[in-house]
Amino acid sequence: MTTFSRRTLLASSSALLTPIAPGLKAAFAADGPAAKRDILVVAFLRFGCDGLTLVPPSDDADYIAARPTLSVRATGAQPALPIGRLDGVQLFLHPNMPEMKALYDDRALAVVHAAGIETESRSHFLSQDKVERGVADGEPQIKGGWLGRHLIARNLVLPGLGAITGAPEVDVSLQGYAGAVAVPDITRFDIAGGDINLNVIEAMHVGPEAAIASARAAIDTIKTVKSRLLSTPRAPRSESGYSAHRYSTAMKSIADIIKADVGMEVATVDLDGWDHHVGLLNFFPGQAREVSTALSAFWTDIRAFRNRITVVAMTEFGRRVEENANGGLDHGAASAMLVLGGNVNGGQVYGRWPGLQPKDLRSGDLAVSTDYRQVLSEILAKRRGETTLGAVFPTVNYQPLGLIRA
C-alpha cells in the first residue's frame, strides 16, 4: 500500500513532489503551457521482449529456417496479422494482438522495427540501466535517467503527481528529477491511518518554513487524489476492456490518474516477464494477448485525452534469431517498439530492415538499425516541447523518422 506515516511524511515530502514556495498550495490542473505538452507514458516490456515474435516477418524464408518450431506463420490455424512492409519485407503482428491490429488500421499505432541500442552486454540489468539512462557502449555516463533529464532541461515544476512510476520504486529513467513519485496502485495512495491521521498531520504543519510547506504540499496531493479520484465510483474494469491481468491493472491505474486531471505529464509502467529462454510458446502468446488488451483498454478509457497522449512500448533488447534447444530464445539485440497516440502517424512500420541472412546478423542477432533514442527524441521534440535534446541525449543527433505529428 502506498502510505505515508506521520514520522516519514516530512522526510519524504521532497521526494513525493517538487517542493513549492512557502505558503502556496500545489496546483493540480494543468496550466496553459502544460496543456500544449503531451502526457507521455513509457511502457517497459522488461526482460527482453522478442521483436521477431511480437512483430514477425512471418513469410520470410530465413526467419522460418531459423525458427522451425517457434516462427509465427502467416497461414494456419492462428495466422499472424498482416501490417505494413519495411524495405519490401512484409511484417505482421502476433495473432493474439487483434486490438493492436485494429489500432494500427485506425492509424493510431505505429511500429518501429529493428530498434534498440548498441551494446555488447547481454545482461538484462546492465542493458536496462543503459536504456533507461539513454547511453550506449563507449559513451560517457550521464547523471540520472533520460526522462528525468528531460524534465530538468525543460525546467518543469510539476504538481505532486506530475511524474510517476507505476511500480514500488521510481524507475531509473525518471531518476534525477526530485518530484518523481512511485505509485504502484493509485487506489491505495493514502497516509497510514487514513483521514483521521491525515487531518491531524495537516493541523500540525502550519507555518512558513519550506519543510512544512513541502509536507503540506504532500498532504494536498493525497487529499486531491482522494477527492478527485478515490471518492468517484470507478467504472467496472470490463467496461473499457481491461482484463484481470497485472498489465491491465497497471494501465488502468495510469488511466485513472490521467482522468483525475491532477497534472500528470509523464509516467512509466513495467509490463515485465519476457525472459523466454524455455517454452516460449507456453508463455509469449498469453503475454502478447494481455499487452494488446491492456493498451487497447487504456486507449478506450482515456478517449477524452487522446490528443494529449503518447504511449511508447519498448524493451532493453530482443532475442536471438535462432531458436534454442529448449523451445526458447536467448538474449539478442534489436527488437520492436510500439508507439500509440493521437498525434502518431500510425498505420506504418518505421525504421530499416537489416535482414535475417547470416551475413546480415549481428553475432547471430537481428541488427539494430534504428537507435531507440531517435524515437524518444522525436516524441520529446514534437509532443513535449523539448528544445534542448542535447541535454537529454547528448550523443545522439536528432533524425526524426516522421512518426510523430508536431
What is the pLDDT, as a whole number, of residue 191? 66
Please tell me whether residue 67 adopts helix, strand or coil conformation. coil
Domain membership flag for residue 123:
yes
* Interval 50-72 mean pLDDT: 98
Range of the domain at 171: 6-392
What is the pLDDT, as a whole number, of residue 202? 75
Please tell me whether residue 134 adopts helix, strand or coil conformation. coil
Domain membership flag for residue 203:
yes
Task: Say which range, 34-43, 303-312, 385-394, has the weakest mean pLDDT.
Answer: 34-43
Single pTM value for the model: 0.87
Q: What is the pLDDT of residues 350-361, one digit of tens each?
A: 999 999 999 999
Ramachandran sector of residue 58 (left: φ over 0; alpha: ψ -120 to 50; beta: rest): alpha
- What is the CATH classification number for the domain harbouring 35? 3.40.720
Domain membership flag for residue 322:
yes
Radius of gyration of the chain (CA): 22
Domain membership flag for residue 30:
yes
Q: What is the pLDDT of residues 220-249, one digit of tens each?
A: 777 777 776 666 666 666 678 999 999 999
Domain membership flag for residue 399:
no
State the DSSP string of 324-376: -TTSS--B-S-EEEEEEETTB--S-EES-----SGGGSBTTBPPP-EEHHHHH
Domain membership flag for residue 401:
no
Domain membership flag for residue 138:
yes
Domain membership flag for residue 405:
no
Question: What residues form DSSP beta bridges with 40?
Answer: 266, 310
- The domain total for the chain is 1
